[in-house]
Homo-oligomer: A and B are copies of this chain.
Amino acid sequence: MSPSSLLRKTLLLSAFAASAAAQTPSPLAESYRGDADRLIERALQDSAAYARLGLLVDTFGNRLSGSANLEAAIDWILGQMKSDGLENVRGEPVMVPHWVRGAESAELVRPRRAALPVLGLGGSIGTPKKGITAPVLVVSSFDELTQRAGEAKGKIVLFDEPFSARSSWPFENYGETVQYRVFGAVAAAKAGAVACLIRSVTPNSIRSPHTGVMIYDSTVTRIPAAALTVEDAMMLHRMQGRGEPVELTLKMDARTLPDAPSRNVVAEIVGREKPDEVVVLGGHLDSWDVGQGAMDDGGGAVAAWEAVRLMKELGLRPRRSVRVVLWTNEENGGRGSRGYRDAHRGELDRHVLGMESDNGVFTPMGFHLTGSDSAIAIARQVAGLLQSINAS
């Protein structure tokens, strides 16, 4: 991510408009042009948001729910927001899942010995201490597993489903592939497998495993689940195709501890005319425990925060209250958003717009909007104010 793309993302959020295709601004939208242009100009003056994101991720590292890192980052952000002069700054308590990865390894045992990079899937149980050593059955799909269910008993099932990007927008058909990560362990266990492996759900690999959440079904035996790299999944598939015996040892110390306390970070600029009506700008603070959580979703969180900070700095007090909500526990549980919903049930109908950036911090091009026809019509007009940064 470049500083300029984060700046533009900040601008995009600070204009709090949404559009599929921008139209000429209406007189109403036009009346905001002066403020919008000031926000745009100010945001482009420096790399404040990029520097803040760098400081956040460099200082605290990754921020898995339940970790000390996440809570330390939240403490720091609350302090910074107060220094920024934001209003009603607080951490709203939420209990979150506390999954811990522990040490993990995968070793190919047959047809030759080789260490394979591996990442356990979030929420998985661990293996016994000596690991699970078993023959591998590679399948391309749930359908193939069904057809070969008789072969799966006592084996490690590997789902080698390619990430078949149908467009340059890689999330287009993410769901088709990600179902193997989420539901693979249940399907494999039903067929009698002792562990589940998946091909990492990603179009880009440098023999780099990629993790994410998986879930169990209370009616099916829990088995450990982990991701191999794209390259190694293809290799095991080729080996099986040649009729070679494929066997590996999977070791995982993963375990789930009791739920831990965390917080949604909330701060506002109280509206001047309708302070009880709320526009929410959001991003999530938690991240997986590998990497730094800069793209997912430190950048989205900082962009939302920076948008409101700039409004404050420029003395722009909007008609409605603008509220930054930096959620906890998006990645593995969604407890942050549900906690917010439960804590704010009384004012949910006074939330007029919610915006979030959680698809990586690239050069913004526009946004998706779910809402009434009239809301979409207004958003299209307002989006015209973003033409100067090509994000309309």
- Report which A residues bind B (CB closer than 8 A): 54-55, 57-59, 61, 111-112, 114, 204-208, 231, 235, 238-239, 242, 291-292
Known: A206-B205, A208-B208. A235 touches B58 (CB 8 A): yes
Give the nearest-CB partner of A61 in chain B: B114
Give the nearest-CB partner of A238 in chain B: B54
Q: List chain B residues, Cβ under 8 A from A205.
A: 206
Q: List chain B residues, Cβ under 8 A from A58.
A: 111, 235, 238-239
Q: List chain B residues, Cβ under 8 A from A235.
A: 54, 57-58, 292
Whole-angstrom distance between the Cβ of A294 and the nearest chain B Cβ: 8
Interchain CB contact (< 8 A) of A61 among B112, B208, B239: B112
Known: A61-B114, A112-B61, A231-B292. A55 touches B206 (CB 8 A): no
| Seed contacts A57-B235, A58-B111, A59-B111; 11 additional CB < 8 Å A-B pairs | A55-B242, A58-B238, A58-B239, A61-B114, A204-B204, A204-B206, A206-B206, A207-B208, A208-B208, A231-B292, A235-B292
User: What is the CA–CA distance of A231 and B61 in the complex, to the nearest angstrom?
Assistant: 12
* Complex A-B: 9 CB contacts under 8 Å: A54-B235, A55-B242, A58-B235, A58-B238, A59-B112, A204-B204, A204-B206, A207-B208, A235-B292
Whole-angstrom distance between the Cβ of A358 and the nearest chain B Cβ: 19
User: What is the CA–CA distance of A204 and B58 in the complex, to the nearest angstrom?
Assistant: 21
Interchain CB contact (< 8 A) of A207 among B204, B239, B291: B291
Give the nearest-CB partner of A54 in chain B: B238
Q: List chain B residues, Cβ under 8 A from A114.
A: 61
User: What is the CA–CA distance of A54 and B240 in the complex, to the nearest angstrom?
Assistant: 12
User: What is the CA–CA distance of A239 and B57 in the complex, to the nearest angstrom?
Assistant: 11
Q: List chain B residues, Cβ under 8 A from A291.
A: 207
User: What is the CA–CA distance of A206 and B235 in the complex, to the nearest angstrom?
Assistant: 20
Whole-angstrom distance between the Cβ of A57 and the nearest chain B Cβ: 8
User: What is the CA–CA distance of A249 and B85 in the complex, to the nearest angstrom?
Assistant: 40
Whole-angstrom distance between the Cβ of A66 and the nearest chain B Cβ: 18
Give the nearest-CB partner of A291 in chain B: B207
Q: List chain B residues, Cβ under 8 A from A54.
A: 235, 238
Q: List chain B residues, Cβ under 8 A from A61.
A: 112, 114
Q: List chain B residues, Cβ under 8 A from A242.
A: 55
Whole-angstrom distance between the Cβ of A388 and the nearest chain B Cβ: 29
User: What is the CA–CA distance of A242 and B55 in the complex, to the nearest angstrom?
Assistant: 9
A57, A112, A206: residue with the most chain B Cβ atoms closer than 10 Å: A206
User: What is the CA–CA distance of A114 and B204 in the complex, to the nearest angstrom?
Assistant: 25
User: What is the CA–CA distance of A227 and B235 in the complex, to the nearest angstrom?
Assistant: 27
Whole-angstrom distance between the Cβ of A245 and the nearest chain B Cβ: 13
Q: List chain B residues, Cβ under 8 A from A231.
A: 292
Whole-angstrom distance between the Cβ of A155 and the nearest chain B Cβ: 20
Give the nearest-CB partner of A114 in chain B: B61
User: What is the CA–CA distance of A208 and B55 in the complex, to the nearest angstrom?
Assistant: 22
